[in-house]
Amino acid sequence: MKYSLIFPIYNETENIEVLYKRVKKVMDGLRKDYELIFVNDGSDDSTLSHLLVLHQKDKKVKIINFSRNFGHQVAVSAGLRFAKGENVAILDSDLQDPPEILPKFFSKLHEGYDAVYAIRKERKENFLKKFAYSSFYRFLRSIANIDIPLDSGDFCVMSRRIVEVINTLPERNRFVRGLRSWVGFKQTGLEYERDARLGGHSKYNLRRLFKLAFDGIFSFSYVPLQAMFYLGLVSLILSILGSIGAVYLRFFTTAYNRVPGFATTVILIMFVGGLMLFSVGIMGEYIRRIYDEIKQRPQFIIDSMVGFEE
């Protein structure tokens, strides 16, 4: 098997037909053996029946059917686990990642790279979303302990050896683009224009976007923990200076009785309380992740697999 293409798919009925046609055209042009792995992430529309029809007429179409919705990143990870190809590609199923540029990506891979990831030249999304994405990636890059490329998502092609390494990483709150960077080897980016979603609407609501962002931050950075330490230190030093000041005012001046102090006290209590809660929250995020790992639950549960028989 030369190429495996992985498509995480969740309620994308509108897009399947066009997606399949466009992908098929591109891949047939490459004249090598390939497989199309659709990871059905608990869709509750007719996505699965559409996929089964495709499998009926084209055995290159393979389906991993989850028992429920486990999330995009988990679906991608499952696809990587079962992909057999020497070269593996990850694409969204809403045609935001145009399959037509795959040949260019694969040929870059054949030049000796282990991963070629796609860099979005321009996003066709509203201003707020663009701004949020772009600032998040810059923030993550500045605090992450690995080199996560800017403006690149999961859209990429990878060599077998990178896929094998990613498959050995057991972590559960997965941020696939981070794991890919973490593995290392020779990686490079190619620019592309990210299209608008073909049909339907985005499956990433605000909650899911925040989860993804937090997975990126807490899985690849200790800066939040260190920031707590330094914030604590600064407020400790300030409070010592404040106490010295108060003692001075009390014993060496007559100003003390004239300082009302009520507002100051309330603000300080609120500030310190807020700082403490915020810090505990950050620690909680790390602890939640430790707990998730310790439970050792499988990352996903498969209901059925179609086309993997051999």
Q: What is the binding site for ligand UDP (CB under 6 A)? A: 8-10, 12, 41, 69, 71-72, 75, 92-94, 96, 197, 202-204
Which residue, 80 or 228, is less far from ligand UDP as judged by CB? Answer: 80
Interacting residues of 228 by C-beta distance below 8 A, sequence separation 6+:
278, 279, 282, 283
CB of 70 to ligand UDP, least distance (A): 7
If one asks whether residue 94 binds Mg ion (CB under 5 A), the answer comes out as: yes
If one asks whether residue 159 binds Mg ion (CB under 5 A), the answer comes out as: no
Which residue, 69 or 188, is less far from ligand UDP as judged by CB? Answer: 69
CB of 195 to ligand UDP, least distance (A): 10
CB of 263 to ligand UDP, least distance (A): 45
If one asks whether residue 11 binds Mg ion (CB under 5 A), the answer comes out as: no
Which residue, 41 or 114, is less far from ligand UDP as judged by CB? Answer: 41
Segment holding 242, helix H or strand E: helix 223-252
Quick check: helix, strand or coil at residue 124? coil
Give just the sign of the alpha carbon dihedral 36, 37, 41, 42. Answer: positive
Closest CA to 188 of 288, 292, 117: 117
**Six-digit token pair at 116?**
């070629």
N-terminal to C-terminal alpha carbon distance within the chain = 13
The interface partner of residue 69, options being Mg ion, ligand UDP, none and the CB cut-off 5 to 8 Å by kind, is: ligand UDP
CB of 40 to ligand UDP, least distance (A): 8
Distances (CA, A) of 195 to 132, 164, 206: 18, 30, 21
Parallel, antiparallel or unpaired: strands 87-90 and 115-122: unpaired
Which residue, 12 or 114, is less far from ligand UDP as judged by CB? Answer: 12
CB of 131 to ligand UDP, least distance (A): 15
Parallel, antiparallel or unpaired: strands 187-193 and 115-122: parallel
Which residue, 200 or 232, is less far from Mg ion as judged by CB? Answer: 200
Distances (CA, A) of 201 to 12, 144, 285: 9, 31, 30
User: What pairs with residue 36 in β-bridges?
Assistant: 5, 61
Judged by CB under 5 A, which stretch of 31-39, 68-76, 91-99, 107-115 contacts Mg ion?
91-99
Q: Which of 40, 65, 96, 221 binds Mg ion (CB under 5 A)?
A: 96
Which residue, 60 or 72, is less far from ligand UDP as judged by CB? Answer: 72
Binding interface with Mg ion (CB under 5 A): 92, 94, 96, 197
